[in-house]
Amino acid sequence: MKFKVKGKVKIVTDEIQVGKQNYPKRTIVIDATPAEEESLICIDFVGGAGVAKIQGKRPGDIVEIEFTIKGREWNGKYYNNVSGWGCELITPIEQIKEPVKSPVNENDLPF
C-alpha cells in the first residue's frame, strides 16, 4: 500500500552503503505539519534509482513523497521501515516567500 505526504524538507543525508550488496541509501526528513508543532518524518530511499529521486532536494524545499510502510519482527522486537518510491518538488526554496513583518507602531492601537 502506497501513501503520499507533503512537507518541507528539513534534512537530506549524505549517501551511505548498506547491506551485503552495498546498496546506496539516503534519508530525507520532512516536516509534514502545517501548524506550529513539528511532525518530522524520516523516509529512506535505497538503490541507485531511489537515491536519484531525492537528488537536488534541499532544506526548505516543499516536496510530495510517495512511500510505503513495512513492519518486520527481529529477535522478538518489531520495527517499521518507511521506504520512499517517489519525490516530487512542489515549491523550491527560492520561490517560498517569508511573510513580511510590518513595523509595530505602539501609538496605533485598535481601540
Side chain identity, residue 2? K
Q: Determine the pLDDT at residue 93.
A: 77
The rounded radius of gyration (Å) of the Cα atoms in the chain is 19
Q: What's the CA gap between 60 and 19, in Å, rounded?
A: 31
Chain-centre distance for alpha carbon 19? 23
SS (H, E, C) 13-32: CCCEEECCCCEEEEEEEEEC
Q: For 29-50, how does the pLDDT look when each residue is reduced to its tens digit (9 = 90+)?
A: 999 887 677 789 999 999 999 9
Predicted confidence band of residue 94 (pLDDT cuts 50, 70, 90): confident
Q: Determine the pLDDT at residue 36.
A: 72
Q: Determine the pLDDT at residue 99.
A: 59
What is the average per-residue pLDDT within 73-84?
96
What is the DSSP code (8-state) at residue 97?
A: P
Query: 31: Cβ–Cβ under 8 A, 6 or more apart, which residues?
Result: 7, 8, 10, 38, 39, 40
**In DSSP terms, which residues pair with 18 in a beta bridge?**
23
pTM (two decimals) = 0.78
